[in-house]
Structure 1
């Protein structure tokens, strides 16, 4: 009986020398399915589905490739039992670099997920969930951690020009209807305003969206997703609602009247709020008003740094 044949070692051509010697900026994988634990609004943690991009630089110009599977396997365990924090991201990125055994000096991780927040109605006792797309970018280079958050927030925008034109038509109708009525009582005017005759025109309003990318200062222990969402929504004044009864819809209409805004106004409101936040190093914001008057969108972009 012939002795068993020993299996040959599996080939690993990634260790072969590169045909063209050159370092590479980033090598890795994108759109990896991953569950992650994030802080919730109540101070606890919740597990959500995420998509991850992970990469390291290929610092060694002679190496053909990186240890790709090591990045994937480490990523699968990275956030299984702990909430995402700046310190945790630094530790994970350092692990990615060390897994390459001298091939790499830098690492990068991008996480995308939907952050669900429960929002109270404006006037009634109801509540509902709202979705906020979030992107976390973390880069470790030369021992320095850089963090960025990208947020997408929807709000309502009522056009100031349209509101002014509507007020003019309302005033002209009032003057016409009461041209010969003297004197006028408060009750008569109130009843007229509450009737269909009391609304000659309405301003146009539309759902709008703010896309904000924020570079964070590394001196803080948490990723302030909820705090920044609250900050931006407060600056805009008219975030879209979840549960809505008639009293909530009326309160929303009132908020829109108190916060008339062009896209330029919305961009400046966001910039003013972000520039005064000590957690922020710099920011880039883009707003789009999905016009009901036009077949195109009105957009504005702004960038700045803390203290601007």
Structure 2
């Protein structure tokens, strides 16, 4: 909004800079804001942490930091990953920039039913959406999920007279999107690649099921990332990707990790 003439103040940011050195990214980071996230059901309320930057030409002293917050204040509809390119275009227009990026991180809750009892509970997933808009007018969008799961060691199962050691795992998947995906789609890829899913609430019959399910479906950390990669390779919506699994070992005081990165 333009202030009345009697309140007009010097605009220092818009003054020329004699050094004439362009800046690749300038903006705000760590901006927490309540948002509604579009989901398969009703929109989900959460708190997102934003990072928003634009490129600055060498002749301009500074960007207008307040306009990043104005962009969020102006939005009154749920966020969807498919909307990020339009949001980035709006940001570039507001800040008179040719390139920029928006990142938002937020906890996303999925409601899951236990496998035997059917008791319902919420499980939290860490999600990151990112869009980069280039000077060529092309915007690229990516989505990342960090999904908890269970893995059971195939070697331990093979060599033990009874039992096998298992552990909680975190499966991180980041994909460059060629077409929209839902958060649930990517969570499903991670969970199907693990020895077993995890749940917020389990009864005894459910605990028996997940223990035996993991025992019947042993996975090394290498198996986790390879199975995720197979699923992503077969999905036309996915360009490049990075998959990482970390097993918080139950018989060691360190983690086991594996990573696969594939360019678009």
What's the TM-score, normalizing by structure 1?
0.79
User: Hey, which of these two has a bigger chunk of helix by percent?
Assistant: 1
1:273 is aligned, of 231, 239, 246, to 231
Matches within 5 A, 1:155-234: 155-166=149-160, 169=161, 201-217=162-178, 220=179, 222-234=180-192
C-alpha distance in 1 between matches for 2:175 and 2:232? 9
**Aligned residues of 1:41 and 1:117 also touching (Cα < 8 A):** no
Deviations 1:21-77 (A, max 9, x none): 1111111001112122212233x322221111111100x211111122122211222
Confirm or deny that 1:76 pairs with 2:73: yes
State which of 94, 110, 118 in structure 2 corresponds to 1:117. 110
Shift in Å at residue 304 of structure 1? 2.6
Is 1:143 matched with 2:101? no
Specify which structure has the higher proportion of strand: 2
Alignment equivalent of 1:250, drawn from 188, 205, 208: 208
Structure 2: gaps of 5 or more residues = none
Distance in 1 (alpha carbons) for counterparts of 2:9 and 2:115: 64
Cα distance change, pair 22–252 in 1 and its aligned pair in 2 (3 A): same
| Corresponding residue of 2:28 | 29
Deviation at 1:19, TM superposition (A): 4.4
Q: Which residue of 2 aligns with 1:177?
A: none
Q: Is the 8 A contact 1:117 1:129 kept in 2?
A: yes
Counterpart Cα distance in 1 of 2:122 and 2:252: 31
Q: Give CA-to-partner distance per residue, 1:102-132, whole Å, 9 cap, x none.
A: xx20121001111100011011121110000
Q: Give the drift of 1:9.
A: 4.3
Q: Distance in 1 between matches of 2:85 and 2:140?
A: 9
Q: RMSD of aligned C-alpha atoms? A: 1.8
Q: Call closer, same or farther: CA 1:25–1:301 in 2, change over 3 Å.
A: same
SS of 1:29's equivalent in the other structure is strand
Per-residue deviation, residues 142-199 of structure 1 (Å, max 9, x unmatched): 2111000111011111111111121xx3xxxxxxxxxxxxxxxxxxxxxxxxxxxxxx
Q: Which residue of 1 aligns with 2:51?
A: 53
Give me the whole-angstrom Cα distance separating, in 2, the residues matched to 1:223 and 1:48. 19
* Larger Rg belongs to: 1
Which whole-Å CA distance do the structure 2 matches of 1:305 and 1:7 have between them? 55
Deviation, structure 1 residue 237 = 4.2
Gaps of 5+ in 1: 1-5, 170-200
What is the SS of the residue equivalent to 1:236? Answer: coil
**What corresponds to 1:134 in structure 2?**
127
Shift of 1:91: 2.0
Q: Deviations over 1:221-279 (max 9, x none)?
A: x4421111112211224111222111101110121112111111111111111111111
Residues 149 and 216 in structure 1, CA contact (< 8 A), matched pair in contact too: yes
Query: Is 1:288 paired with 2:246?
Result: yes
Matching of residue 40 in structure 1 with residue 33 in structure 2: no
TM-score, length basis structure 2: 0.92
Partner secondary structure for residue 208 of structure 1: strand
Counterpart Cα distance in 2 of 1:132 and 1:98: 33
Does residue 13 of the first structure (1) align with residue 12 of the second (2)?
yes
